[in-house]
Amino acid sequence: SYSAPVKVDAVGQHTFSYRATDKAGNTSVVKTIQFTVVAAEPPKDTTAPDTSATVTGTKDSAGNYVSSATVTVTASDAESGVGTIEYSLDGAAYRNYTAPVNVDTVGQHTLTYRATDKAGNTSPAQSVKFTVVAAPPQDRTPPQVSASVSGTKNDAGEYVGSATVTVTASDTESGVARIEYSLDGGPYLQYSTPVAIDRAGSHTVLYRASDKAGNTSTPQSLSLTVVDSTPPTDCPEADNRSTVFTGSVNTGVPNRVTTNGCTINELIQDHRTWKNHGAFVSHVEEIVTTLRKEGVLDQREAAAIKKAAGQSDVGRPSRDSAGR
């Protein structure tokens, strides 16, 4: 039954037959028409691709790229799709872009780029400008370092009362990062102000410096002697043995002068009468903990002294001739 125009949208050849019947029942002869339906042509792409470019690399403080720069070009086309991307470096002929472009020639550069879609539309040429500079020469030279000693000397060249060691360093390339010193075989400490040595005896100072490129100078040393006939009055006992002892156990750790002017042995007081061995061991552990914080001892030396205290006979009951 026909009641409205018939829409045919199937692609292909078609035959349409039609007839009509009147109210008296008479039907007309069937007639036909033939026609063909084809797919609609897609809208024509007249829009060029969108393009952009980014430059990456290590920059210096002026925004120049050090040693090289890498240019990455991207393009997109929502209709027919991107066909080709092209670039031109510093006015040269256009070349096909297939991967990021690395530029390592020192100087100013301009990279021009464009893209063409599959419908033949080419985007307007755009460009990025950048400058490549040579990398500065790598610093492989350690700082120059020197030291001087000041104080009052006697006729023998010994320093009376105290001596002050001043360390200086210079580096013409990357610059000085830090200066360190070691007194009488102790761990290296940060040098910030001249080092005053007021403990009587012979002393050796090692010193070195490191630059900002990580180069460290070969340690240098100076030796000096401080004389003072009056021992410190605030030290528990006088003990100038060269190494630290706990009773008869030699730790091998240098008997350094501590921050209060007393040697480590004088603080340990292994000649003192102790209530028991445990009291002595606890005392040594407290002393070692303090000296570790002050930088007088390193971790290995601190452990050696504590171990020696436990092995010593200080504070233990003495044995009789029968071994009882």
Contacts of 90 (CB under 8 A, 6+ apart): 109, 110, 111
Sequence spans of domains, the chain:
50-133, 144-227, 243-311
SS (H, E, C) the chain: CCCCCCCCCCCEEEEEEECCECCCCCECCCEEEEEEECCCCCCCCCCCCEEEEEEECCECCCCCEECCEEEEEEEECCCCCEEEEEEEECCCCCEECCCCEEECCCEEEEEEEEEEECCCCECCCEEEEEEEECCCCCCCCCCEEEEEEECCECCCCCEECCEEEEEEEECCCCCEEEEEEEECCCCCEECCCCEEECCCEEEEEEEEEEECCCCECCCEEEEEEEECCCCCCCCCCCCCCCEEEECCEEEEEECCECCCCCEHHHHHCCCCCCCCHHHHHHHHHHHHHHHHHHCCCCHHHHHHHHHHHHHCCCCCCCCCCCCC
pLDDT at 178 over 80: yes
Give the mean model confidence (pLDDT) for residues 111-130: 97
∠ CA 61-63-66, nearest 5°, is: 85
144-227: what fold?
Answer: Immunoglobulin-like (2.60.40)
Q: Please give the pLDDT value at position 138.
A: 86
pLDDT confidence tier of residue 320, bands split at 50, 70 and 90: very low
Give the mean model confidence (pLDDT) for residues 176-202: 94
Distance CA 68, CA 59 (A): 9
∠ CA 164-290-256, nearest 5°, is: 40
pLDDT at 322 over 70: no
Give the mean model confidence (pLDDT) for residues 193-202: 92
Residue 84 token pair: 């080709």
pLDDT at 300 over 90: yes
Phi-psi group of 293: left, alpha or beta (phi > 0 → left; psi -120 to 50 → alpha; rest → beta): alpha
Give the mean model confidence (pLDDT) for residues 291-304: 93
Check whether domain 50-133 has CATH 3.50.50.60, yes or no: no
pLDDT confidence tier of residue 130, bands split at 50, 70 and 90: very high
Q: Please give the pLDDT value at position 323.
A: 38
The residue with greater pLDDT, 200 or 86, is: 86
Q: Are strands 126-133 and 65-66 parallel, antiparallel or unpaired?
A: parallel
C-alpha count within 13 angstroms, C-beta hemisphere, residue 171: 22
Q: Please give the pLDDT value at position 230.
A: 55
Domain 50-133 matches domain 144-227 at the CATH topology level = yes
Contacts of 293 (CB under 8 A, 6+ apart): none
Q: Please give the pLDDT value at position 128.
A: 98
Question: How long, in residues, is the chain?
Answer: 324
pLDDT at 214 over 90: yes
11-61 pLDDT, tens digit per residue, is 999 999 999 999 999 999 999 999 999 998 878 899 999 999 999 999 999
Contacts of 237 (CB under 8 A, 6+ apart): 266, 269, 271, 272
Give the mean model confidence (pLDDT) for residues 151-170: 90
pLDDT at 319 over 60: no
Q: Please give the pLDDT value at position 131.
A: 97
The type of residue at 260 is N
Distance CA 160, CA 156 (A): 10
Q: Look over the chain and give the mean of its residue pLDDT values, rounded to a whole number.
A: 92
pLDDT at 321 over 50: no
